[in-house]
Structure 1
């Protein structure tokens, strides 16, 4: 859904889509517009990253690797999101623009007024439907919303019963395929267990035939040495302090594979465009493992833009990238050079709130492909970097 060209704010000022990267991005990131007092706004909220566990691993392997997209969770950092009209100078909290307003230029810091309620999040989900046919429902979600959250944490699965009622569906909704928390893109839901089983079998058979039912796009910091190729490695979970991380196992042993301590993974990639040391990549995973694509991109020495979890594994000496061992590279805010920060219009402080540029753009179903437009922050980055823009199929 494109941004409205000039929606009116209740305070009387007109919305302006060209209002600067992280004013506009914050307002439009969910790529849907929720209504407050009959006026168009865009909202999102923030939440804490959950430590991965077996429960998440099983669900995400069944659902497929990828991303997740609703501004209702950890989207830009540690604070909570508020609501913002699309105007250049004043930003208000959710609810007809009442609340604090400031005269400074619109910036990311104004976006974190308060967390969205479950009701506000439901309105966003309802507006994010991109396909509805029979028992199938597809949403286009922003980065940040987990499919399963921690106890008491807002998540998609928690909201599915309410979403079903709002959409007038009689049967329960459940997840067929979904990306991980950090990513944006397609979430496929079903209200029929038989349809779910058929689709999961379809995806499995397609991968066995060498087909790629899921296609992602990623903006990377760095350009792969080869224009296309594949990334093959074992992956496993490893505890690092209080955090569970995915680490590569270049040559997994047969015992570890048999015990399912390590999973053999494979991703095909193709460079769609490159400019200024960054690239737009097409990624087609043949296997499904949580955070597979983010880790695979580090093995290409081209971490995803906005990856504050694994990008520290790629170091640089005199501009030449090299791979660091996971034990020596704890998670931290991604490091970008001053030139790239300037092209993106970011300060170092804003950088830590930059979302991951990894988007599940296409799912091929038996009846044909589904597509999801990348979120506005992704499209704006393509424009800033001079990379190929998104084109409707």
Structure 2
């Protein structure tokens, strides 16, 4: 006998025979519903629904190999092209939008020259030296943190940027640990006594293989579908009408004198490894002289590979094959411009100070793909 207690404590009596009949009826109804295509389906309990959702999530997780959102399934093999593009994307996003302490720790690991008054950082690609945007940290923003990492929690500890580098340039970034050292370095720089050597990979082989580019540079407005400003050449010599010589013309009063020494270190597959030594320090001087002075733009220089438009660098088919890229993915190529070596002559009455920075991984990877050997250290010091 089953007893059901309802409202007002009223009792409901159901005989055992009736209960058995009801039990058989409900079981039969469930079996019929399971094998029927009709819309009269039994209601799911909350516990059944929760179990169903959990099983679906576990199934989905197993399908993608347990990867996080936005991370491709590791079980799906990537083609060499996809791997190359992914690798280049990582280079172009390196250390951007990270916590200042993370950036400072990475830069502190890149200190390559111990000196009581100077420090040299191997600057990574894609990081502003100064005046970074609000969304990105700059090296100047984290100098106080780096200073404390080097000298402990000393109150007087401070670092100063002596000679800046562009966001896309890698290599030797010189810092001063005292105000006196900063003034000394800047004085040497104003007198063109600081010797800086850069290594670049160019699209094309400069002819002649060694020389000096002495062409003033000026900022110009480029009109068209995408109006913008960029640095360009402002030569003071023009080819004569007969093509037999050159004639001197009046220099533009807004142009800045720019001189660059260059030397081809090696070349292969239509590209070259070139050493550049700027005598002057005009904005984007090396990029403009290579692209417009020698007609051999730096690999990954999407701004100066074209004059009238803003577009990814157009690369020859043979170069694309060697780099493992398609033209549509060339925009991911980083600028191959590396501040290789820096020399301070007779710093504060002492002997010359020379510091060299190793090439970044993406740079050496490109040289390897293009089959351009890296010069020996003795050749580097010439």
Length-normalised TM-score, structure 1: 0.64
Partner of 2:164: 178
Q: CA deviation at 1:286?
A: 0.3
Partner of 1:236: 218
Aligned residue among 44, 69, 73 for 1:102: 73
C-alpha RMSD of the superposition: 2.8
User: Does the CA-based 8 Å contact 2:148-2:157 persist in structure 1?
Assistant: no
CA gap 1:264/1:222 in 2 versus in 1, 3 angstroms: same
Distance 1:287 1:343 in 2: 34
Residues 132-147 of structure 1 aligned to structure 2 (within 5 Å): 132-147=114-129
Q: Does 1:335 align with 2:340?
A: no
Distance 1:248 1:368 in 2: 34
**Larger Rg: 1 or 2?**
2
Q: CA deviation at 1:363?
A: 0.3
* 1:76-104 Cα distance to aligned partner (Å, 9 max, x none): xxxxxxxxxxxxxx9988xxxx9835224
Q: Secondary structure at the match of 1:246?
A: strand
Partner of 1:383: 368
User: Does the CA-based 8 Å contact 1:379-1:390 persist in structure 2?
Assistant: no
More helix by share: 2
Residues 65-104 of structure 1 aligned to structure 2 (within 5 Å): 100=71, 102-103=73-74, 104=77
CA gap 1:92/1:185 in 2 versus in 1, 3 angstroms: farther
Q: Does 1:165 align with 2:165?
A: no
Q: Secondary structure at the match of 2:216?
A: strand
User: Does the CA-based 8 Å contact 1:180-1:290 persist in structure 2?
Assistant: no
User: Does the CA-based 8 Å contact 1:297-1:303 persist in structure 2?
Assistant: yes
Q: Does 1:249 align with 2:243?
A: no
Partner of 2:27: none
Partner of 1:289: 282
Q: Does 1:265 align with 2:258?
A: yes
Q: CA deviation at 1:332?
A: 1.4
Length-normalised TM-score, structure 2: 0.66
Partner of 2:15: none
CA gap 1:217/1:349 in 2 versus in 1, 3 angstroms: same
Runs of 4+ displaced beyond 3 Å: 90-93, 98-101, 106-115, 203-207, 239-244, 252-257, 390-393
Partner of 1:78: none
Q: CA deviation at 1:178?
A: 2.6
Q: CA deviation at 1:116?
A: 2.5
CA gap 1:151/1:275 in 2 versus in 1, 3 angstroms: closer
* 1:117-167 Cα distance to aligned partner (Å, 9 max, x none): 323222211111111211211001122212223441321111212222222
Q: CA deviation at 1:338?
A: 1.9
Q: CA deviation at 1:226?
A: 0.2
User: Does the CA-based 8 Å contact 1:275-1:385 persist in structure 2?
Assistant: yes
Distance 2:250 2:66 in 1: 57
Across the two proteins, how many residue pairs are aligned to each other?
A: 278
User: Does the CA-based 8 Å contact 2:85-2:325 persist in structure 1?
Assistant: no
